[in-house]
Amino acid sequence: MSCERTFVMLKPGTLERRLVGRILERLENCCLKIIALKLMRIPRDLAEEHYAEHRGKDFYPPLIDYITSSPVIVMVIEGENSIAKVRKIAGATNPMEALPGTIRGDFALTTKKNVIHASDSLESAQREINLFFKEEELIDYEVPNEKWIR
Ligand code: GTP
Ligand code: MG
């Protein structure tokens, strides 16, 4: 187990459907610590860079259109095994395959508009955090339950 940082984005549908509170609550419940958070409209070039691995795929243009269509919330989340943990809490990419109890399983309606993004590896997490945040925007602090989870 290791204390890692992961990058999470609540996609446009989350704000428009007023799901922010319910989704943040699930992340907090899992002993994950938010160390950076901001509301933003993603410029197209940043969206294209973020999803660069999917360039050339048929779903790439609509994916970029979607995540630039309205504001998102971006976050850095820290915790033991946070990368795998948040991917598990987020659920499968296709909401039809996402289990009930996962964020996508409970809130997403289509693969294209699946409400949350979470980094899929240590390398992606570092790359995505650097794309969206400056080092000084990451804020370290202690939470009272830390002694129970290590
Ligand atoms: P992210 O956390 O958003 O990166 O999703 P993921 O890691 O679960 O999936 P992946 O990186 O493979 O795909 C990125 C995004 O592209 C997904 O969240 C979907 O919104 C979209 N996507 C992936 N596969 C498909 C597909 O087959 N069809 C469509 N329409 N969209 C897709
Ligand atoms: Mg992905």
Gyration radius (Cα) of the chain, Å: 15
Measured CA to CA, the distance from residue 111 to residue 76 in angstroms comes to 23
Q: CATH number for the domain including 126?
A: 3.30.70.141
> Domain total for the chain?
1
The model's pLDDT over 10-21, given as tens digits with 9 standing for 90+, comes to 999 999 999 999
Of 9, 23, 59, best ligand 1 pocket probe by most atoms within 8 Å of the beta carbon:
59
Range of the domain at 41: 3-149
Averaged over 71-100, what is the pLDDT?
96
Of all protein residues, the one whose alpha carbon is nearest to atom 18 of ligand 1 is 93
Tell me: pLDDT of 7 over 60: yes
* This prediction's pTM: 0.95
How many whole angstroms from 111 Cα to the centroid of ligand 1?
A: 7
**CA dihedral over 65, 67, 72, 76, signed as positive or negative:** negative
List, as one string, the DSSP characters of 69-101: SS-EEEEEEEEETHHHHHHHHH--SSTTTSPBT
How many whole angstroms from 17 Cα to the centroid of ligand 2?
A: 22
The yes-or-no answer on residue 50 being catalytic is: no
Residue 112 in contact with ligand 1 by CB distance below 6 A: yes
Conformational region of residue 92, where left means phi above 0, alpha means psi within -120 to 50, and beta covers everything else = beta
Instruction: Tell me if 11 sits within 8 A of 109, measured CB to CB.
Output: no
